[in-house]
Amino acid sequence: MLQDLLIPFLLVGLAELGDKTQLAVLVLSTKTKNYTALLAGVMLAFILTDGLAILLGNFIADRVPMDYVRIGAGVLFIIFGLYTLLNKEDDESSDSYGLKNPFISGFGLIFVSEMGDKTQLTSALFATQYDPVLVFIGVIFALFILSAIAVYVGKIMMEKINKKTISTAAGILFIIIGASFFL
């Protein structure tokens, strides 16, 4: 029973460490002061994508053309990158730092990019081997810890590094991640 929780927790946590979705969370956290809303949106996306994968197993992977999902995710990342690079607002007093709605931004970007991702497919496979409820708890807990760390690191970066430098780096990183979906 404990292995049903720990194995998915450890393996999904290790697989997601440094993954594009964690980099996206990090970058998004540099664009807002509303970290709770961002984290809530990100976690809802993880709960839905990985929860569906666990419930439906390989059914999703067999029915949804992953090429379309990849293209959509790539375009979304590139749009975020271009918006970040072209957005010239310097209103430091703004509560959003550039994200109009951190919850929606976090949810949308992670939801699309997590579809067909290795951690989503791994979650589905674990659910066929172990208790699906414990798999879900282990996976979501691992993703929560990594996402919270990414948000915290983004917050620290905003306090230590010039906002314009972070925005430029974030825009470039989003475009690179988006382009990687096409390769």
Task: From 63, 161, 150, 145, select the one nearest 106 (Cα to Cα).
Answer: 150
The residue type at 88: K
DSSP-derived letter for residue 162 is: -
DSSP-derived secondary structure for 85-153: HH-----TT-SSTT-S-HHHHHHHHHHHHHTT-HHHHHHHHHHHHS-HHHHHHHHHHHHHHHHHHHHHH
Per-residue pLDDT at 91 exceeds 80: no
pLDDT one-digit tens code per residue, 143-181: 999 999 999 998 898 888 877 787 788 788 878 888 887
Place of tokens 């951690």: 119
Angle between helices 20-29 and 35-56 (to 10 degrees): 160
**Rounded average pLDDT over 57-73:** 68
**Every domain of the chain and the residues it spans:** 2-180
Say how far apart CA 96 and CA 17 lie, in whole Å: 27
Single pTM value for the model: 0.76
Per-residue pLDDT band for 42 (boundaries 50, 70, 90) equals very high
**pLDDT given for residue 80 in this prediction:** 77
Note whether 27 and 170 are within 8 A (CB): yes
8 Å CB contact between 16 and 142: yes
